[in-house]
Amino acid sequence: MIIPRRAHHRFTLAALALAALAYAAALTDARPAGANGWEHGAIPFARLVEALQTGSAATRLRAAQSLGYRGQAEAAAPLLDALARPEREAEVRAAIYRALGAIGAVEAWPALNRCLEAEALTPVRAACAGALGGLRGTPRAADAGARLIGLIAPDEEPLVRRRAVAALGAVADAAAVATLARLAGAAAPVSDSRPAVAAALAADPTLAARAVDALGATGARAAGQALAELLTRAEDAATRLRLATALARIGAPEARVPLKRVLEEAEDPRLRVAATVALAAAGRAGDAADADGVRKRLADLLAAPERAVQYAAVTALRDIGDAESGAAVARYADALANWLAATDAGAIAEAPQDALERLTLLEAALRTATDLAPAAGLEAMARSAQARPIPRNAPHRLALADALYKVRRAALYGLGYTGAAERAGALLAGEVGLGAPDSRLRAVAARSIGVLGRPDAPRVLTAALRDEAAEVRWTAARTLGYLGERAALEPLIALFGDDDSRVRAAAATALADLGAVEAIPAIQRRAETEERPPAQAAAADALARLKRLRAVGAE
């Protein structure tokens, strides 16, 4: 991000404080199955399973990622079947293992063990180690923890060891917590693990810091006690920051005194932010009755004078992950959206540092509201989606224009999940959505229209197939496929004449999603004449899927 030179130091300091508190993502090696655009419920489960069998490795990869993201238990069997075929692409294998871990598939235990014993590629073995963490709460949890503890031996590859440490944080049983505490340097070790732990630390000193992060992920009272004990002894700011960040995820009452000491002594704004949030959460562990109090303290921090503390509170409420937390963040987003709506572009450009900080906070709040309480965020999203052109004639104005774009994108994305078919649908189909000059925003609006499920979505998206921007055309095509909109059959076939190969590929995939066996001749011609390999592969995959479907129908 480019900012004016005179504001550079101050804004960078705030940005560092904001970034440091994104602890859920930044301080772990865990790699959960992630969203990739196929994750929302409009895609039938059966189509994702079918995609695991295609000839395109990229398609199989996305299907595995999406099945893991959705977390449906019935995905375990087709994922294990895909491994047994066998799956020859290492990246796809790793995605399948991660998906099995995300699902918590206890039936994957034999496959994960075979992977750790026989897999030749270190990144795939590391994915299997991480997947063992998903067995928390299953009958195999203790076995998974013991297997992970064994992987910390110094003869293992560093990547596997580090992923095993992170996965122990997910398993979170007594043995896992005790091993992590020993790795982190706390007391209360498991006696028979001392030699192995000492050897592992000698081979990889970074494991101590990684163990602190994993202790924070456990949510265990014993982990909070270990972290509080470490914080009592910690002197350097970097160690204190890591410990306070981990404690913020647990909320250990034992940490109140050392956290107050940190707040009194710390000069680093990142450390002050972490300690503030950890102190606010200090009553959470082991005391369910205090959950509402913790949420209220974090919600109160949304009004703190330091914007870095506000950002940290948004992150902490997102970590709690319930609707009440989302509603608190939605109210906060509403206040920021009101500021944005009441401030003209000229005033924003005159105070770039202040505006950039507010816009960063608004984007984070909109994303959190989308995840936790999208209906509560409707008004904030509606106001934030409005266009506010900023002249791009100076570096700081370029930065502001980029920040405003991110806010609008988050708002348009969130509107799809609000369930407000009339209000949100009108915005998405209107000038702030599909009518926006920026094609990237039009593409987001097209996707959100599909997610929202408004009755006129097929008509609106069919019209978007004629958009001047290829990104919008291919997004509309894929979304029509997700929706199963057979009325779009002919317009989708017409896209085989599109100048952009990505649009042609999306049309082929959408026709397969529709189960449009009558499109087989057109797809056959496209597969035979397509010159771009990705589009040719998409046509071939669609053709194979539809021929299988026709064969099943004939039976």
Per-residue model confidence (pLDDT) at position 26: 36
Q: Is residue 10 within 8 Å of residue 353, measured between CB atoms?
A: yes
Q: Is residue 539 within 8 Å of residue 526, measured between CB atoms?
A: yes
Mean pLDDT of 14-29: 39
Count of C-beta atoms within a 10 Å radius of residue 224: 28
Per-residue model confidence (pLDDT) at position 14: 42
| 278 vs 28, residue with greater confidence | 278
Packing angle between helix 194-203 and helix 174-184, nearest 10 degrees?
50
Averaged pLDDT of the chain = 86
> Quick one: 554 exposed, middle or buried, by C-beta within 10 A (0-12, 13-18, 19+)?
exposed
**Percent of the chain having pLDDT more than 90?**
63
What is the pLDDT confidence band of residue 243, given thresholds at 50, 70 and 90?
A: very high
> Quick one: 456 exposed, middle or buried, by C-beta within 10 A (0-12, 13-18, 19+)?
exposed
Is the pLDDT at 20 greater than 80? The verdict is: no
**Cα-flanking dihedrals φ and ψ of residue 460, to 5°?**
-65, -45
Per-residue model confidence (pLDDT) at position 194: 56
Per-residue model confidence (pLDDT) at position 386: 95
Mean pLDDT of 492-508: 96
Is the pLDDT at 244 greater than 70? The verdict is: yes
Give the least confident one: 298-302, 317-321, 460-464. 317-321
Q: Is residue 302 within 8 Å of residue 314, measured between CB atoms?
A: yes
| 295 vs 32, residue with greater confidence | 295
- List, for residues 513-540, the tens digit of each pLDDT value: 999 999 999 999 999 999 999 999 999 9
pTM: 0.65
Question: Tell me, what amino acid is at 430?
Answer: G
Is the pLDDT at 115 greater than 50? The verdict is: yes
Q: Name 349's Cβ contacts closer than 8 Å, sequence gap at least 6.
A: 355, 390, 391, 396, 397, 400
Among all chains, which residue has been given the structure tokens 């994305």? 413
Mean pLDDT of 233-241: 92
SS3 305: coil
Per-residue model confidence (pLDDT) at position 294: 65
What is the pLDDT confidence band of residue 268, given thresholds at 50, 70 and 90?
A: confident
Per-residue model confidence (pLDDT) at position 505: 96
Q: Is residue 180 within 8 Å of residue 186, measured between CB atoms?
A: no
- List, for residues 388-431, the tens digit of each pLDDT value: 888 777 778 888 999 999 999 999 999 999 999 999 999 999 99
What is the pLDDT confidence band of residue 154, given thresholds at 50, 70 and 90?
A: confident
**Percent of the chain having pLDDT more than 70?**
88
163 to 32, 172, 326, 424: CA distances (angstroms)? 12, 14, 30, 42
Radius of gyration of the chain (CA): 25
The pair of structure tokens assigned to 79 is 């994922």
Under DSSP, the state recorded for 252 is -
What is the pLDDT confidence band of residue 321, given thresholds at 50, 70 and 90?
A: confident
Give the least confident one: 161-165, 292-296, 347-351, 433-437. 292-296
What is the pLDDT confidence band of residue 195, given thresholds at 50, 70 and 90?
A: low
- List, for residues 269-299, the tens digit of each pLDDT value: 788 788 877 877 775 544 555 567 667 877 8
Per-residue model confidence (pLDDT) at position 10: 35
Per-residue model confidence (pLDDT) at position 166: 95
> Quick one: 422 exposed, middle or buried, by C-beta within 10 A (0-12, 13-18, 19+)?
exposed
Mean pLDDT of 113-134: 95
545 to 22, 81, 211, 512: CA distances (angstroms)? 42, 18, 46, 6
Per-residue model confidence (pLDDT) at position 27: 34
